[in-house]
Copies of this chain bind each other. A is one copy, B any other.
Amino acid sequence: MKYNFKNDYTKGCHPDILAALSTHNMSAEDGYGEDSFSLQAAALIKDKIGNKDAGVYFVSGGTQANLTVIASILRPYESVIAAESAHIQVHETGAIEATGHRIQTVKSAHGKLKPADIEKQLDKFEEVHTTIPRMVYISNSTEVGTIYSREELIAISNFCREHDLILFVDGARLASALTSIDNDLSLEDLGRYTDVFYIGGTKAGALIGEAIVINKPDLQKNFLYNVKQRGALLAKGRLFGIQFLELFKNELFFTLGAHANQMARKLSSGITDLGFSFLTPTCTNQIFPIFPNAVIADLQQDYAFFTWEKIDAEKSVVRLVTCWATDEGAVDEFIRDLKKVCSNHT
C-alpha cells in the first residue's frame, strides 16, 4: 500500500499534541471536564469565537456531538431539517431517531441548504399531525467537501431567527472549511450567526475530541446532564482539554487544516490536468474525481480510498481525502501513478 486516502483519521495525532499529553501526564486534575486544561481550552475557544457567554463542552466524536445536541435541544415532538446527504442522515446508524427525533431531509445541490429549501419543509407543517420543525442542521465543510460562504451562512441564520429555528453547524471538518482558499467565514462568524456548532478535533489532527459550542445561553441550561446521560462525559476530560488547548493556543488548528487543503488542491489539479472531471468542486480536503472503473481497479492495487457512487456502467466517483499528515510526496506519486494507469488503458 503506497498511501491511504480513505479518510482524515488514518494517522494518530500531530506530534505537538502528543508532546502536550506527555508534558501534562502526571498533573493531578479533577474529573469529568473540571480539569484545568478543559477549563482553559473552553475559555480560549470562547475568546476565539468572540462570545464570552458561550458554553463549551467536549465529547469524543461527531455522532456523539450530533445526538447530544439535538436530543438536548428538541422537545419530543420537534424535528430537525437537514440535507439528504447530511451525515446525521447517511452515516450515523439512525442515532438521531434513536433519541426520538425525526430528521426532515431536503434534496439539495452540493450538500448545502438554502433558505428556500428550509422553507419548503416548513410548508409541510400541519398543526398537531406533524412534528414541528425546530432546528436546521448544516455541515461545514459538507459531506461532499463544499463550504458555505459568509453570505450564505448569514442568509440561513437570518431565516432561522425569523422562523424561530435553532441553527446548528456540524463542524467535524471545520478546520478544512475555514482554511479553504474559497472561504470568507471566521470563527467569530460561527460565534455570531449560529446557535450551536461544534469544532472537530478528530479530523483536524487530534487523537479524539469535538468541542461543542452553544452560543445561545438558554440552550446551555443543564446541557451537561445530557452529555453525561448519553455516556459522553469522560472521566479523564483532560484528554480533550490538553488537545484543544494545543490546537488553539497558537494557530495549529488552522495550519493543519490549510495543509490538508493544499494537498487536496494539488491532487485535484493533477487529476484535472489528466482530463478528469469531479462530482463537486474542490474546496477542502475531500475531492470527488470521476474515474473509469478500470482505472479505479488499477489504482486500488496501491492506494486505499472509497468508491463514492456509480455514474454509469463504466465510470464511478471516488473520494480521496487528505489530512494534516498527508505528505506532498504521496500526492505526487499518486498523480504519476494515475498517469501511468491511464496510459495503460488507452
Contacts and interface: CB of A to CB of B under 8 A. Distances in A.
A225 B130 CA distance: 8
Nearest to A25: B12
Where chain A touches its partner, the secondary structure class is loop
Contacts of A285: none
A234 interface: yes
Contacts of A27: 11-12
Interface in A211-248: 222, 224-226, 228-236, 238-239
Interface string A82-119: 00000000111111011111100000000000000000
B32 A25 contact: no
B234 A208 contact: yes
Contacts of A157: none
A174 to B, nearest CB: 15
A255 interface: no
Contacts of A93: 77, 128-131, 225, 228-229
Residue of A27, A65, A97 with most partner-chain B CB within 10 A: A97
A4 interface: yes
Contacts of A131: 93-94, 97, 225, 229
A236 B222 contact: no
A68 interface: yes
A231 B234 contact: no
B202 A236 contact: yes
B10 A29 contact: yes
A25 B31 contact: no
Q: How many copies are assembled?
A: 4
A11 B18 CA distance: 16
Given A28-B4, A31-B6, A94 B77 contact: yes
Which range contains the number of A residues in contact with the other chain? 35 or more
A63 B97 contact: no
A60 interface: yes
A67 to B, nearest CB: 5
Contact of A31 (B7, B63, B236): B7
A76 B229 contact: yes
28 contacts: A1-B28, A6-B30, A7-B235, A10-B29, A11-B28, A11-B29, A12-B25, A12-B26, A18-B21, A18-B25, A26-B325, A32-B128, A60-B234, A61-B235, A66-B231, A77-B226, A77-B228, A90-B124, A92-B129, A93-B225, A94-B130, A95-B230, A97-B102, A97-B131, A99-B100, A128-B228, A207-B239, A230-B231
Given A13-B25, A91-B126, 20 more contacts: A9-B236, A12-B25, A12-B27, A12-B236, A12-B238, A21-B207, A61-B231, A61-B235, A76-B226, A77-B222, A79-B94, A90-B130, A91-B130, A93-B129, A94-B130, A97-B131, A128-B228, A131-B225, A132-B225, A202-B236
Interface of A: 1, 3-4, 6-7, 9-13, 15, 18, 21-22, 24-32, 59-68, 71-72, 75-77, 79, 90-95, 97-102, 124, 126, 128-132, 202-203, 207-208, 222, 224-226, 228-236, 238-239, 325
